[in-house]
Every structure is written in structure tokens, then in C-alpha cells.
């Protein structure tokens, strides 16, 4: 058998016949963007757009230097370095067609926990124009109920006292901006690419709260000089599996230790507000708009919440993946009704988008049988996802007198899931959540007090005081604890509507 060839710059010419490869001279690319959080999503989305841009236009000042802040990021850093920062993007269509592409837009990687000074200096370098972020919903470190920055976080406390040896993203950003201000350099843009409503405003709010604690004068400068464009980002990117690595090896004779798989759909809607220039991402399909709010709300409340609905209910039922859920008529119908009855009424019209088409397209995307998006990924860190994705919709429907049953069942099911930690067949659930023990503790008190789970105020705020909500919720809790077969409760809601 022929040995497969390692992916790296030297070997790139050997692959150009087999798949799309960067056509630009990577040795000339400067890192105008520092990206914190080089996970699968960054690599299938922003790095992909930027790679296309460099292929199609002269944009060599907009390469990306990846940054990881924690030791857990060492693996991706080491693999990328070994491969000259190249990796393969495997785009899987629903009909089985696969498009492979080597992405070259990442040109360097640095690990903050190894050498914070080097990362700060790189961010403070004149070449750096944008620092972009995918640090997950939890990374913004705010209390979901109050929306305020959490100054008690140990990393934050450390960084306030040790500005030169930061551990958190806030410490790194302020240290770098401080150097830029001292050097008379323009501020960089801070560009959030996370699924948070008004992600730019949120990044601004938490960074300013942090900077005020550390250096009030610097905070005023940041407030004036740094732009934080809001954006809606979208591309479903499941966790890479050993089968993806094997596929490249067998089919293309290419050895890539960490490729990324994703769906063909991609969207990026950005507010055109940058402190120090930006790439012409619109040349490769991104959309610049004056106000991204309606796009963000639509995406977070339909796609991300839709994922969570399937994720929590599907996990209890014993489904493994999103496409597995959508292939089950009960789950597909439930999802569509949730979108139609509970989300659509709280959305504003979105220019250029017909909501029915958008929902049809979402269900088609979820059903892509080649994107085996695991429910464990979807349910990861639910405590920082559900307040924004789902609970916000419940709250708005409570205010307007709209339907809440579809979403409330998910909350009641989440309580049962956090309490028991097993699905309805007794199989242990793979729960990964910063708040796992608090969730479990609150949920186990349900036997004594049906509303116990709602006492987690950082998640539910004052929802426990809303009579309409608690009535629906406690009935569902009682029903699920008596009979955990979640499909029967979903059916009860669906038939009750007919
Ligand atoms: C998912 C998202 O994490 C989640 O819960 O809903 O990762 C989703 O796949 C992306 O936002 C798609 O753009």
C-alpha cells in the first residue's frame, strides 16, 4: 500500500491535482488578524472566508495568527505547527457529494499560557488590525440573568491584580491595547464570532467592565477607540472524528491530523464598524449591514435553540445525532411547531429573508445525513446556551401571552436530565457543563420542591415568580418524573394543539 503524504507547505504541490489548495504565496502573508479560540468553527467559517479571499484577491495583509489561551489548546497548536498551519476542510453535502479544500489562511499559532508576553506583543504589533474571538457563550463571563460581568471569577481576579501575566481573554486584550495606546498605534477591532445576541456589544460591555477595574483611564481610551462589530455567524461544524482523518488518508493519500468537517451552508452578516481597516469579506459572500440584530435573533432563536430542543429531548429519548432526531417524524414535527408557534411570533421581519424558507432550509440542514452532529456537542455547556437561545423566547412569550409549552418541556426535561444523568433507557448521559454540579444539585431537590431547578437565578432570573410559567412547568415536571418517556410528553403537546 502507498504511504500517505503528510500535509505541510513543502508537500502542497503534491495535492493540487486532488483538491483545492491555496494559490497565494503564503510566505508573503502577514497576520492582520489574531484569532483567539481556534476550534472547528473558526476553521470552517472565518478562516475559510479569509482563505477564499486570499485566493481570489490580493489580501495578503489579512492572514490569521491563531491564539489559544489555555493548556487545552496545546494539541491544536502543535498539530497546526507541524502542518505549517495548513488543514483540510471536508464539506459534506446531503446527497453524499464531498468537497475537500486545504485552507492556508492561518499562518501562525501562539499559546498564551506558555508565553503571555509574546502574545500581548503580537497583538500590540502594528500589523495586527483585528482581534477576533470564538470563546464560546460562557467565555464572556457574564451572569445570564443580570447580564453583568462576573468580577468574582478567579481568572478575572487574578488578571486585575496581574496585568502583565494575564490568563483570561480580558487580561490579554487590555494589556495589548495598553501597549498600543502607549506606542501611539491605532486600536485594533475586537470582532466577536460567538453565538450571542449582540455579540459585539457584549464583548464591549464585558471588556469595559474589566478594564474599569484595572485601569480606568485605559478603559476610557478603549471606549473611545475600539470598535466591536456585531455579527451573525453560521455554519454547522460537528466534532472531527477518527473516520474523517481516515477518509482523507484512504481517499486522497493525505495525512492531516486534525481536519474539519462541515455542511455546505455558510453565512456571516457583519456590522461595518472597524477601528483599523478590514478584509473585503463581502467579495467572498459575507454580508455587511448597518444593523445585524434581526439576523442574529433569527439565527440564535431558530437554529441554536432548535438544536437545543433536539439536543435535550433527543438525548433523553436515546437519539445520538441531530440528523437522527430529524429523521424521527415526532421530533421533526415538534421542532417545526416550536419554531412556528413559539419563535416566529417573537421575531421581527428580516430584510431579504422569508422566514418560512429559512425554517425549511434549517430543517433540511439539520437533516443532512452526512453531518453526524452529535447531541453531546449540542448539549455542551447548556447552562450558558439556554438562557440566550431558549429562555429569552419563553420570557417574551410570557410578556405577550404567547405559547410557551414547547420550550417549557425542554426546560423540564433539562431538569430531569441534570438530576438523573441517564437517558430513558438507563444509559449514562455525557454531560459537560461548567455548572454541572450546581445543575445536578438544584435538579435533585425537585422531589421536595417541583420548582427547585428554577432557583438557579444565574440561568432563570425571576422565572420562578411567574405564575403562568410555573404552572405549565410544574405540571410537566410532575408528568416527566412519573413517566420519563419524553416522546409521550411531546406527543401530548402536539395533539393538544390539533
Ligand atoms: C450549536 C452551534 O453549539 C450549539 O449549540 O447550535 O454550534 C451551531 O451548530 C452553530 O452555531 C451553527 O452556526
Best residue among 42, 306, 307, 335 to mutate for probing ligand 1's pocket (most ligand atoms within 8 Å of CB) is: 307
For the CA of 311, the closest atom of ligand 1 is 5
Nearest CA to 392 out of 406, 407, 374 is that of 407
pLDDT tens track for 5-64: 999 999 999 999 999 999 999 999 999 999 999 999 999 999 999 999 999 999 999 999
Q: Is residue 45 lining ligand 1, measured as CB closer than 6 Å?
A: no
For the CA of 307, the closest atom of ligand 1 is 6
pLDDT at 456 over 80: yes
Percent pLDDT > 90 in the chain is 95
Percent pLDDT > 70 in the chain is 99
| pLDDT score at 148 | 87
- Using CB atoms within 10 Å of the CB of residue 327, give its burial: 0 to 12 exposed, 13 to 18 middle, 19+ buried: middle
Q: How confident is the model at residue 370 (pLDDT cuts 50, 70, 90)?
A: very high
Mean pLDDT in residue range 316-337: 98
For the CA of 378, the closest atom of ligand 1 is 5
Q: Is residue 234 lining ligand 1, measured as CB closer than 6 Å?
A: yes
Q: How confident is the model at residue 418 (pLDDT cuts 50, 70, 90)?
A: very high
**CA of residue 21 to ligand 1 center, whole Å:** 27
Tell how far CA 85 is from the center of its chain. Answer: 22
Residue nearest to atom 5 of ligand 1 (CA): 378
Nearest CA to 83 out of 339, 290, 258 is that of 258
| pLDDT score at 497 | 46
**CA of residue 378 to ligand 1 center, whole Å:** 7
Angle at CA of residue 267, ends 263 and 270, nearest 5°:
155
pLDDT tens track for 464-485: 999 999 999 999 999 999 999 9
Residue nearest to atom 4 of ligand 1 (CA): 378
Rounded Cα distance, 430 and 376, in Å: 6
Rounded Cα distance, 46 and 39, in Å: 11
- Using CB atoms within 10 Å of the CB of residue 31, give its burial: 0 to 12 exposed, 13 to 18 middle, 19+ buried: buried
Largest CA distance in the chain: 69
| pLDDT score at 498 | 40
Q: Is residue 378 lining ligand 1, measured as CB closer than 6 Å?
A: yes
**CA of residue 41 to ligand 1 center, whole Å:** 9
* Domain boundaries defined on the chain: 5-289, 293-494
Q: Is residue 365 lining ligand 1, measured as CB closer than 6 Å?
A: no
Mean pLDDT in residue range 153-167: 95
**CA of residue 460 to ligand 1 center, whole Å:** 21
Q: Is residue 235 lining ligand 1, measured as CB closer than 6 Å?
A: yes
Residue nearest to atom 9 of ligand 1 (CA): 236
Topology at the third CATH level for domain 293-494 = 1.10.1040
Strand partners, 200: none
Q: Is residue 307 lining ligand 1, measured as CB closer than 6 Å?
A: yes
pLDDT tens track for 79-136: 999 999 999 999 999 999 999 999 999 999 999 999 999 999 999 999 999 999 999 9
pLDDT tens track for 258-290: 999 999 999 999 999 999 999 999 999 999 999
- The correct answer on CATH 3.10.20.30 for the domain covering 5-289 is no
Cβ atoms of 337 and 444 within 8 Å: the answer is no
Nearest CA to 258 out of 488, 4, 3, 6 is that of 6
**CA of residue 19 to ligand 1 center, whole Å:** 27
Best residue among 41, 42, 197 to mutate for probing ligand 1's pocket (most ligand atoms within 8 Å of CB) is: 41
**CA of residue 446 to ligand 1 center, whole Å:** 30
Angle of helix 305-317 versus helix 329-337 axis, rounded to 10:
150
Mean pLDDT in residue range 390-417: 98
Rounded Cα distance, 66 and 74, in Å: 12
- Using CB atoms within 10 Å of the CB of residue 105, give its burial: 0 to 12 exposed, 13 to 18 middle, 19+ buried: buried
| pLDDT score at 1 | 60
Cβ atoms of 122 and 65 within 8 Å: the answer is yes
Average confidence score pLDDT of the chain? 96
Rounded Cα distance, 22 and 105, in Å: 8
Rounded Cα distance, 49 and 368, in Å: 22
Mean pLDDT in residue range 250-262: 98
pLDDT at 385 over 70: yes
pTM for this one? 0.96
**CA of residue 381 to ligand 1 center, whole Å:** 12
- Using CB atoms within 10 Å of the CB of residue 400, give its burial: 0 to 12 exposed, 13 to 18 middle, 19+ buried: exposed
Q: Is residue 304 lining ligand 1, measured as CB closer than 6 Å?
A: yes
Mean pLDDT in residue range 135-164: 89
Amino acid at each position: 500500500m502507498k504511504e500517505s503524504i503528510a500535509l505541510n507547505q513543502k508537500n502542497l504541490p503534491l495535492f493540487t491535482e486532488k483538491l483545492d489548495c491555496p494559490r497565494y504565496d503564503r510566505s508573503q502573508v502577514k497576520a492582520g488578524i489574531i484569532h483567539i479560540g481556534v476550534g472547528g468553527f473558526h476553521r470552517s467559517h472565518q478562516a475559510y472566508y479569509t482563505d477564499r479571499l486570499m485566493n481570489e484577491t490580493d489580501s495578503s495583509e489579512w492572514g490569521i495568527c491563531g491564539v489559544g489561551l489555555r493548556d487545552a489548546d496545546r494539541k491544536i497548536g502543535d498539530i497546526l505547527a507541524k502542518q505549517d498551519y495548513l488543514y483540510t476542510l471536508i464539506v459534506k453535502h446531503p446527497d453524499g457529494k464531498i468537497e475537500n479544500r486545504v485552507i492556508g489562511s492561518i499562518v501562525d499559532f501562539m499559546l498564551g499560557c506558555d508565553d503571555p508576553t509574546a502574545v500581548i506583543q503580537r497583538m500590540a504589533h502594528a500589523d495586527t488590525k483585528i482581534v477576533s474571538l470564538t470563546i464560546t457563550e460562557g467565555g464572556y463571563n457574564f451572569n445570564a440573568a443580570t447580564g453583568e460581568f462576573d468580577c468574582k471569577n478567579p481568572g478575572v481576579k487574578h488578571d486585575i491584580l496581574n496585568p502583565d501575566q494575564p490568563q483570561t481573554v480580558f487580561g490579554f486584550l487590555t494589556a495589548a491595547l495598553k501597549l498600543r495606546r502607549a506606542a501611539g498605534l491605532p486600536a485594533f477591532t475586537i470582532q466577536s464570532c460567538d453565538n450571542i445576541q449582540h455579540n459585539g456589544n457584549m464583548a464591549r460591555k464585558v471588556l469595559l467592565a474589566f478594564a474599569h477595574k484595572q485601569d480606568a483611564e485605559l478603559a476610557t481610551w478603549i471606549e473611545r477607540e475600539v470598535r466591536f462589530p456585531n455579527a451573525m455567524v453560521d455554519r454547522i461544524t460537528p466534532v472531527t472524528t477518527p473516520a474523517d482523518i481516515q477518509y482523507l488518508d484512504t481517499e486522497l493519500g493525505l495525512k492531516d491530523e486534525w481536519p474539519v468537517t462541515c455542511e455546505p451552508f455558510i453565512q456571516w452578516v457583519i456590522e461595518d464598524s472597524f477601528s483599523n481597516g478590514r478584509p473585503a469579506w463581502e467579495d467572498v459572500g459575507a454580508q455587511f449591514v448597518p444593523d445585524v440584530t434581526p439576523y442574529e435573533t433569527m439565527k440564535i432563536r431558530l437554529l441554536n435553540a432548535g438544536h437545543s430542543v433536539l439536543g435535550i429531548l433527543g438525548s433523553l429519548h436515546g437519539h445520538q445525532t441531530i440528523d437522527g432526531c430529524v429523521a424521527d417524524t415526532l421530533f421533526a414535527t415538534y421542532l417545526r411547531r416550536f419554531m412556528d408557534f413559539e419563535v416566529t411570533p417573537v421575531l421581527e421581519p428580516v430584510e431579504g429573508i422569508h422566514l418560512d424558507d429559512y425554517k425549511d432550509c434549517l430543517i433540511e440542514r439539520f437533516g443532512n445525513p452526512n453531518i453526524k452532529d452529535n447531541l453531546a456537542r449540542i448539549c455542551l455547556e447548556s447552562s450558558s446556551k439556554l438562557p440566550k437561545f431558549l429562555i429569552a423566547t419563553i420570557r417574551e412569550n410570557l410578556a405577550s401571552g404567547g405559547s410557551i409549552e414547547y420550550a417549557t418541556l425542554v426546560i423540564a426535561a433539562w431538569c430531569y436530565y441534570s438530576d438523573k444523568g441517564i437517558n430513558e433507557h438507563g444509559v449514562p448521559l455525557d454531560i459537560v457543563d461548567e455548572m454541572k454540579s450546581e445543575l445536578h444539585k438544584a435538579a435533585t431537590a425537585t422531589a421536595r420542591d417541583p420548582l427547585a431547578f428554577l432557583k438557579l437565578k444565574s440561568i432563570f432570573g425571576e422565572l420562578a415568580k411567574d405564575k403562568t410559567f410555573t404552572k405549565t412547568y410544574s405540571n410537566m415536571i410532575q408528568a416527566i418524573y412519573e413517566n420519563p418517556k419524553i416522546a409521550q410528553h411531546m406527543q401530548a403537546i402536539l395533539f393538544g394543539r390539533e
